[in-house]
A and B are shown apart, each in its own frame.
Chain A
């Protein structure tokens, strides 16, 4: 395992910069998650580190060594591809053994078998080891791809949405397993996901990408509680953070340049005993909790309500904001 660093990395495809001037250091043994909408440059970042794309500007360092010009084979990275990339004519076992059978590694066959058996059991694919890679479901293929990476002990694991095609139960289980393995091995990991639970629970730090730029890098807590802009604030939180124009809360003391007020659902308290400007528009029951959709003038606001709430559609309520966040006209954070 090693420290991996991108230094002022830029990669262009034609005119568009898939990533622009990204600097990111993943410390030895650290688990960094990349967040961002589709097309933000997450995959490109991983590919640049793996050496599957060459940088236009900047550098890649693995373990302190400059590797920008080196072939992927020399960089000692393991990659879980978004589109699985299994070897279709090989069995699951042979797929997982493929990297270990490289002549440069010379791993004895019985050791290969031992580690494959162990990892296959963990990923629940031990009964599929003799299957052809093409005769698997999407979720099984994805787990084989993860297994093919985990049998190795590379400088860094690069994982591109590795749990995206699994069902909720399996995803939760593997999330814990992956995190455990990463911690046990002290593995360096750069991990792309759209799933905020994965991001929040697995990451040591989260990096948020916006059109190829790294706009914020910090612990999950920092990203959640202290976002640098509305773009970051809307990445995490389910339901999404409420963004409202300042004029809706004339009595709230705000910094002068603030245009938008952001309040997470759990920080939006309802005062039932006062008549207020907000009206209950809709109540959504999600089993363990319920979402309260309110309308305030022409804005809709979502908040959480307990089970005991006796609110009904049409009721008027007052709102109380805790720990509001302020953003200026461009969506940048302003601090009081």
Chain B
């Protein structure tokens, strides 16, 4: 490894100058020094990532409850069986799927469209880019709270705007309070907040296409539409897919925004997996059961992401 040779030369230099440092360093082999540098990180990783994961796997096979003391019994795969037969869990998975699929679809289309417009470098595009990026830089807590106000039927700007545009009475609907609207209310907030992020990645993709390829296409008489379909889209596809991957993983485990906006309500219409998980773990205190659910979610995300990354690599190699 390169770092090693670097260390040697430092040691050599040290030998030429003050002695004590050289002596101390000389006591260690290259490997020893390498471990010294990497060690703390590995210990930290083990402590806060790997150990909890293994512990969770262990707990998922027990009836452990964190708020009760007493005997912890091994229950085999019973937690897993219950989860897969639990209608509430499947409802939560459905709510999650609705949220993930729609946010990704809308954010990708909107984000790419915005990136395409901004890439055209119209007047003042720098200003508009900065403005568009603002939502992404806010904290989800802030965003959740102020969208709660925007969605207020009495005083909220959102209802006011809708009623202004469509003529519907603004107190006649509650975005966060109605079973049919709440799933869309959270989609709208996530789209508002994270479209800029997708836009940024797509913009990087568009900027990576060299001008001379478009010039060749122009000389070859490709219409703007043909240039878009046969150059712009395929060449920025790896970037679009990367944005989808990031947003997908992020939204699969979305918690903070939804918890602030609806806490899973009304009823359980917006109760996505992570909220169900939190309830099982810290409201019903079924620690073993929720551990099993967490493991199932983890495997699902991990598996999907892996399949997706394979696909991404294929696209990149095309």
A residues with CB within 8 A of B: 50, 52, 71-73, 77-79, 81, 83, 85-90, 98-99, 102-105, 132, 148
Docked-complex contact A102 and B222, CB < 8 angstroms: yes
In addition to A81-B215, A85-B212, A89-B235, 6 A-B residue pairs with Cβ atoms within 8 Å of each other are: A71-B218, A72-B218, A87-B216, A89-B234, A98-B217, A105-B221
19 pairs from A and B in contact (CB 8 Å cutoff): A52-B218, A52-B219, A71-B218, A72-B219, A78-B219, A79-B216, A79-B219, A85-B212, A85-B213, A85-B215, A85-B216, A88-B213, A90-B230, A98-B220, A102-B220, A102-B222, A103-B223, A103-B226, A105-B221
- Determine which of A50, A73, A87, A90 lies in contact with B221 in the assembled complex, contact meaning CB atoms within 8 Å: A73
Known: A89-B318, A132-B318. A77 touches B216 (CB 8 A): no
Report the separation of the CA atoms of residues A90 and B229 in the bound assembly, to the nearest whole angstrom.
Answer: 12
Report the separation of the CA atoms of residues A86 and B230 in the bound assembly, to the nearest whole angstrom.
Answer: 12
Which residues from A are CB-within-8-Å of B66?
Answer: none
Interface magnitude class on chain B: 10 to 19
- Flag B192-229 by CB within 8 Å of A: 1 or 0 each: 00000000000000000000110111111111001000
Report the separation of the CA atoms of residues A73 and B215 in the bound assembly, to the nearest whole angstrom.
Answer: 10
User: In the complex, what residue of chain B is closest to A104 when comparing beta carbons?
Assistant: B221
User: In the complex, what residue of chain B is closest to A50 when comparing beta carbons?
Assistant: B219
Which residues from B are CB-within-8-Å of A89?
Answer: 234-235, 318
Asked whether B309 is an interface residue with its Cβ less than 8 Å from the other chain, the reply is: no
- Determine which of B216, B221, B231, B318 lies in contact with A102 in the assembled complex, contact meaning CB atoms within 8 Å: B221
Name the distance in Å between B80's Cβ and chain A's nearest Cβ.
44
Closest 10 CB pairs of A and B: A99-B220, A85-B216, A102-B221, A73-B221, A72-B218, A85-B212, A89-B234, A79-B219, A72-B219, A52-B215
Docked-complex contact B318 and A73, CB < 8 angstroms: no
- Flag B235-258 by CB within 8 Å of A: 1 or 0 each: 100000000000000000000000
User: In the complex, what residue of chain A is closest to B234 when comparing beta carbons?
Assistant: A89
Which residues from A are CB-within-8-Å of B222?
Answer: 73, 98, 102
Report the separation of the CA atoms of residues A77 and B221 in the bound assembly, to the nearest whole angstrom.
Answer: 10
Which residues from B are CB-within-8-Å of A52?
Answer: 215, 218-219
Report the separation of the CA atoms of residues A254 and B230 in the bound assembly, to the nearest whole angstrom.
Answer: 65
Report the separation of the CA atoms of residues A263 and B234 in the bound assembly, to the nearest whole angstrom.
Answer: 57
